[in-house]
Amino acid sequence: MIDDIKKLSQKYQPECAQFLCDLIATPSMSSYEESVINLIRKKMEQFRYDEVTVDPMGNLLGRIGNGKTIIALDAHVDTVDVGNAGLWKTDPFKGVIKDGAIYGRGASDMKGAVASIVFAGRIVKELDLADDFTLYVVCSVQEEDCDGLCWQYIVKEDQLRPDCVVITEPTNLGIYRGHRGRMEMEVRTQGLSCHGSMPERGVNAIYKMAPIIADIEKLNERLASDPFLGKGTVTISVIWSTSPSLCAVADSATIHLDRRLTKGETMESAVREVQELPSVQRAEAEVVVLDYAVPSYKGLTYPTKKYYPTWLLDENHPAMQAGEETYRQLFNEAPRVSRWNFSTNGIATMGMHGIPSIGFGPANEIHAHSPEDQCSIDHLGKAMSFYAAFPKFFVKKN
């Protein structure tokens, strides 16, 4: 089986690379993924997947096999925007091949993985591997805007609950078993506006916020740490205020907090830490966990809290054992085991729903969201072979 998978992965690598270029040439920011979903759907149908469906949210699910054990390969199809186009050395929407890599928006995060899992499904189908498992190739939407929302919908509404999910975000071909969680909060102070020529007659909400900002910076220094996942963090990413005019005292001020949660930290504990800051209490400030309620490209709105739980799979779990054995059989060496610095759909698959999840993906996460966005062509073939081989090893370990 291994030799056959490796041969087909090498055979299809050039075609997979061209498909990645086509994906990059099809812009797909969050809530605008319809064109790229249609492109991928046609490819799945061309490869004769057993069933290809698009759910009401817009997620694309390609099924191969009808076995008892259900395994899902997940890759989100949406990307962040380009940012300052002047910083790019290549056209972000062309899929430029240079020095053995493909450059363009989403190459690393994560259209390289999309191409690889779709072609892995082709290999599974061609070699008739899915006799004792069901493989779902999932191309999900809105992840960049709201990690895991797609899998909240897939589990709760589509009623698909796999025995294992492979999150294919970039790992530089390492095997990852978790990452910190995150959440988004606002701290809000209220003031009283008055004419700017007589500030003593009002209450400036910005002044009330100033000591809170200093306390948030100090809070970051004493947050909990975990030997594997790393330290919890909090930072202020945005600050704004309101007033009747530029000649008036501010009547409100708001800061937006990006809070990263390490092992043992929860939404409740993170909120409480901010609420208990002396400056927050003196200012009688409001601490709010934000909501996400943005329509998908199909018009469906599926509201959720902007709380994305920490998750960590035990290093001896059968899914990890299967992943490591797959890697050794394919590449004749032990894999690098680590965790992501950023957040993925794993916050829903395992963090919310307890579905065993591992990570393995082409490309290096350091290129994600950058003007150097790229994926090695060699990684496409290796990732393709891993995704095609993993289900058999998971069935044996499970």
**Angle subtended by helix axes 377-397 and 112-126, to nearest 10:** 50
Kind of pairing between the strands at 51-54 and 60-64: antiparallel
pLDDT above 90 for 225 = yes
- Average pLDDT of span 55-84: 97
Specify the pLDDT at position 125: 98
The answer to whether 143 is a known catalytic residue is yes
Specify the pLDDT at position 397: 85
**Based on the number of CB atoms within 10 Å of its own CB, is 372 exposed (0-12), middle (13-18) or buried (19 or more)?**
middle
The one catalytic residue in 78, 144, 251, 325 is: 78
Specify the pLDDT at position 143: 98
pLDDT above 90 for 364 = yes
pLDDT above 90 for 398 = no
The one catalytic residue in 33, 143, 147, 324 is: 143
Residues 17-43 have pLDDT tens digits of 999 999 999 999 999 999 999 999 999
Element of type H or E holding 12: helix 2-24
| CA gap 209, 280 in Å, rounded | 8
The answer to whether 145 is a known catalytic residue is no
Q: Where are the domains of the chain?
A: 2-179+310-397, 181-292
What tokens does 92 get? 């972000």
pLDDT bin (cut points 50, 70, 90) of residue 209 is very high
Specify the pLDDT at position 257: 98
Fold classified for 2-179+310-397: Aminopeptidase (3.40.630)
Nearest CA among 105, 118, 115, 178 for reference residue 340: 178
Angle ∠(182,305,107) on CA atoms, nearest 5 = 55
What tokens does 147 get? 């990690």
The CATH number corresponding to 181-292 among 1.10.10.10, 3.30.70.360, 3.30.420.40, 3.30.1360.70 equals 3.30.70.360
| CA gap 116, 214 in Å, rounded | 46
- Average pLDDT of span 165-191: 98
